[in-house]
Amino acid sequence: MTPLEERIGYKFRNSMLLAEALTHPSLGHEAQRCHFDYQRLEFLGDAVLQLVITEYLFRNFGLEAEGQLTKLRSRLVSREALKTHAAALDLGRYILMGRGEQASGGRERTSTLADAFEALIGALYLDGGLDTAKKFILTETRADLEELAEKPVDINPKGDLQELLQSISPHSPLYELVSQTGPEHEKMFVSHVLWDGIVLGQGTGRSKKQAETAAALEAMELKRWEKGEKEST
């Protein structure tokens, strides 16, 4: 096994896939001849990464709205996040690249490391199937996933909504509890967010705070203040 294979705990059946995933486009450009590189595998790996992270969020954050799930996924698959994972694998040292690219700091470049990380996922998918790629992704992103479980909301929807609306008028949004149902240990709350006579959004949650946060998220998505939809009486 190569040092990288030992690090990720997987032996490639087709070693050329690993070689392709670790070949920077600059190598072919510098040699002025046709040479494979990681760009196609990067394209595939990006899709596999999106699928695995999307499924994880869908299964583990059942109360989050679509908009919040999208924001969480964006945080997990950002270029900076992928660079961090690549650096943890010391991936830069294994990438084959042209001398010019290397001399200009290519082994530490965010785009290079992020692309190579996605290409490695694509290679794992082709060589070992979805389960192999999924195991790798969830292992390498474990710390980020655990952080999400402790602090799933990395934005402040209520604060963002208030700031946006106060740029339009001095009035602040108001949150109104519409209903609460279920036994004491398993209550579900529904809240509206109102502003200038308009119901901007509705949210559901296991606490008033969670319901209000969900209502603010929906309000940010619907942007009803732009349409002036008045509250029905």
DSSP E strand stretches across the chain? 174-181, 188-195, 198-205
* N-term to C-term CA, the chain: 71
- Residues with Cβ < 8 Å from 140, sequence gap 6 or more? 85, 88, 89
Token digits for 114?
Answer: 């992020």
The residue annotated as part of the active site, out of 37, 115, 118, 127, is 118
Q: Which of left, alpha, beta for 150 (phi over 0: left; psi -120 to 50: alpha)?
A: alpha
The β-bridge partners of 180 are 189
Question: Residue 5 to residues 15, 83, 91: CA-CA distances in angstroms?
Answer: 10, 19, 11
Cα–Cα distance for residue pair 176/2, rounded to 1 Å: 60
Cα–Cα distance for residue pair 111/147, rounded to 1 Å: 24
The residue annotated as part of the active site, out of 20, 46, 127, 140, is 46
90 part of the active site: no
Question: Residue 58 to residues 52, 127, 174: CA-CA distances in angstroms?
Answer: 10, 26, 30
Cα–Cα distance for residue pair 23/205, rounded to 1 Å: 48
46 part of the active site: yes
Cα–Cα distance for residue pair 95/21, rounded to 1 Å: 8
List the catalytic residues.
Answer: 46, 118
